Amino acid sequence: METKSQTRICVPVCEKDVGAIGQAMASAAADADLIEIRLDCLDPLKVEEAVEKTGELIAGSPRPTILTYRPAEQGGHRDLDTKSRLNFWLFRRRTTPAFYDLELDIAAHAALFDHGKPLDWSRVICSHHDFQGLPPNLSQIYERMTQTPARILKIAVQANDITDCLGLFSLLDKARADGREMIAIAMGMAGFATRVLGPSRGAFLTYGSLQEERATAPGQVTAAELRKLYRIEKISRQTLITGLVGLPVGHSISPHVHNAGFEESGIDGVYLPFEVKDLGSFMRRMVHPRTREIDWNLRGLSVTAPHKNAVISFLDWVDPAAQKIGAVNTIVIDAGQLSGYNTDAGGFDKTLTDHLGELRGARCAVIGAGGGAQAVVYSLRQKQAHVTVFARDVGKGKLLAERFGATCKTIGSERFAGFDVVVNATPLGTSGTQEKRAPAMAEQLAGARLAYDLVYNPRETVFMREARAAGCDVIGGMEMLVAQAAEQFRLWTGVSAPEDAMRSAAINALKQ
């Protein structure tokens, strides 16, 4: 069995003066294996002073260091041409960091470093960055880098869709076959998988910021998250991989929920956010076992907006309930086949039944006509509840109601007295621009028995507060989130999910 590669996390330190660099280096020690000192971040008026003290910074560093002097076009903070940077490095050869990061245009002048004290090229990282996207000549760039004497090669490119990760993973495989050390990063949320899975696929290191607001490249998460949330040092080529497919996905707390489940259950698995624009390309090139271009132990996927409906056409088998709902939120990959399920309906049914018991004949109002409403209306009608869909888009609402034998009304100043259940299946109340809004206020909810908000972030929404003020029992979206995630976990692993641990992780994530 193939052994796992060594995992190294490098924390970049990007500060304007020496004092701040020293403080940041001390803070980085908790989660860093290496610390990158970004000299290009220094105040231009303080560069010489700082460089004079570089030796002290390196000597006092709690972790091995990388020195970097990055130009703006390569992601740096200063306009620096090749000549000025070349002169800079020629006079810094006597510093003794663990590594120097030299861009390809500098490393290509290797012969100039042979005069005087030669540069130890075993300590050089030859790097190239492209913030526009995946360059069509990626393999040629790699070959040019192999012509330098640098021991380690680094390529970081902007990922405009998740399939751009394939080029970086291929580079890691090629470098291993060539006997070269390689760092390959796809920047941006779409490239996130390369940051977490890179070390297990042979990457020399990966990068994690000291704090979220101190990220030095798009898509960079904190070193603490890499260690504690994604448990990066435990990932190998055999690790079971799952993840969330959607656009966007960066806001989701599902990685907290499922990774806590893996940790609590002692399962060698990881759950990642997969930002997908072109669903067809992703399913063909990275997911389906018959056509995918990457060797990985992909076991299952959660699916969220906007792909819950479209993904059905790429599956080999769809659970009858999911077919009736018209939406899949869970994919299981097994025996070369993709199977689709909808655990939203089951999660909703479980939590509501736990609170109300028998639902036959219950009067239920569902506000909204989107993907969440589809699963809710289906679930309620399966229990033979009477359902009224309230929608601003009456046409959409009528289509949903007619599919499942419900009725439809326009939402406005409707009062819900006499309803056993009122469900908010709209985004109103979600953290962000919608947070202060609610689909119904206390005076409208007065006389209803129970209000159920599918929104889980924040935990206490305006709708929930208004419902309490109206005297209603209340269920928040957290319960459905955990219940549907627990069923996903069971489908992927074959074992019961540790719901308490998953719920605690979700609650803690919302507190951050």
DSSP-derived secondary structure for 112-151: GGGSSS---GGGEEEEEEESSS--TTHHHHHHHHHTS--S
Whether residue 273 contacts residue 302, with contact meaning beta carbons closer than 8 Å, is answered with: no
How far lies 406's CA from each of 143, 152, 294, 323, 325, in Å? 63, 63, 45, 18, 14
Structural domain count of the chain: 3
User: Does one domain contain both 249 and 129?
Assistant: no
- Alpha helices for 217-299 (secondary structure H): 223-228, 254-265, 279-282
Q: List strands edge to edge, sheet with 152-158.
A: 181-187, 152-158, 124-130, 99-103, 65-68, 34-38, 9-13, 206-207
Q: How, if at all, do strands 124-130 and 99-103 pair?
A: parallel
Question: Domain holding 503: CATH number?
Answer: 3.40.50.10860
Residue 3, pLDDT score: 43
Instruction: Pull the structure tokens for residue 326.
Output: 């018209």
User: Does one domain contain both 253 and 350?
Assistant: no
Give the residue among 199, 240, 259 at the shortest CA–CA distance from 492.
240
User: Does one domain contain both 335 and 399?
Assistant: no
Residue 2, pLDDT score: 45
Rounded-to-integer distance, Cα 42 and Cα 242, Å? 40
Whether residue 80 contacts residue 97, with contact meaning beta carbons closer than 8 Å, is answered with: no
H helix or E strand, kind and range, residue 450: strand 450-453
User: Does one domain contain both 62 and 210?
Assistant: yes
Place of tokens 């810094």: 92
Question: Domain holding 395: CATH number?
Answer: 3.40.50.720
Whether residue 447 contacts residue 417, with contact meaning beta carbons closer than 8 Å, is answered with: yes
Whether residue 248 contacts residue 189, with contact meaning beta carbons closer than 8 Å, is answered with: yes
Within 13 Å, how many C-alpha atoms sit on residue 490's CB side? 14
Classify 318 as helix, strand or coil. Answer: strand
Residue 14, pLDDT score: 93
Rounded-to-integer distance, Cα 123 and Cα 300, Å? 40
Write down the catalytic residue from 83, 174, 308, 383. Answer: 308
Give the residue among 300, 315, 304, 196 at the shortest CA–CA distance from 241.
300
| Residue 2 in domain | no
Domain residues for 454? 345-475
Max Cα separation, the chain?
A: 89
Residue 186, pLDDT score: 97
User: Does one domain contain both 149 and 297?
Assistant: no
Rounded-to-integer distance, Cα 217 and Cα 207, Å? 9
Rounded-to-integer distance, Cα 310 and Cα 248, Å? 16
| Residue 239 in domain | no
| Residue 216 in domain | yes
| Residue 260 in domain | yes
User: Does one domain contain both 379 and 430?
Assistant: yes
Domain stops at, among 174, 191, 224: 224
Q: How, if at all, do strands 330-334 and 298-303 pair?
A: antiparallel
- Alpha helices for 91-228 (secondary structure H): 104-107, 138-146, 165-178, 192-197, 223-228
User: Does one domain contain both 332 and 354?
Assistant: no
Question: Domain holding 104: CATH number?
Answer: 3.20.20.70
Whether residue 203 contacts residue 174, with contact meaning beta carbons closer than 8 Å, is answered with: no
Asked if 308 is an active-site residue, the reply is: yes
Q: List strands edge to edge, sheet with 407-410.
A: 407-410, 386-391, 363-367, 421-424, 450-453, 473-475
User: Does one domain contain both 469 and 493?
Assistant: no
Whether residue 233 contacts residue 227, with contact meaning beta carbons closer than 8 Å, is answered with: yes
User: Does one domain contain both 194 and 82?
Assistant: yes
| Residue 236 in domain | no
Per-residue pLDDT of the chain (512 residues), as tens digits, is: 344 468 999 999 999 988 899 999 999 999 999 999 999 998 888 777 777 788 888 999 999 999 999 999 888 888 888 888 888 888 776 678 999 999 999 999 998 887 767 889 999 999 999 999 999 999 999 999 999 999 999 999 999 999 999 999 999 999 999 999 999 999 999 999 999 999 999 999 999 999 888 888 888 999 999 999 999 999 999 999 999 999 999 889 999 999 999 999 999 999 999 999 999 999 999 999 999 999 999 999 999 989 999 999 999 999 999 999 999 999 999 999 999 999 999 999 999 999 999 999 999 999 999 889 999 999 999 999 999 999 999 999 999 999 999 999 988 878 999 999 999 999 999 988 999 999 999 999 999 999 999 999 999 999 999 999 999 999 999 999 999 999 999 999 999 999 999 999 999 999 87
| Residue 315 in domain | yes
User: Does one domain contain both 182 and 273?
Assistant: no
Q: What pTM value is reported for the model?
A: 0.93
User: Does one domain contain both 185 and 259?
Assistant: no
Give the residue among 274, 281, 221, 219 at the shortest CA–CA distance from 247.
274
User: Does one domain contain both 249 and 294?
Assistant: yes
Give the residue among 48, 22, 500, 484 at the shortest CA–CA distance from 254.
484
| Residue 110 in domain | yes
Residue 275, pLDDT score: 97
Return the bridge partners of 103, or none: 127
| Residue 232 in domain | no
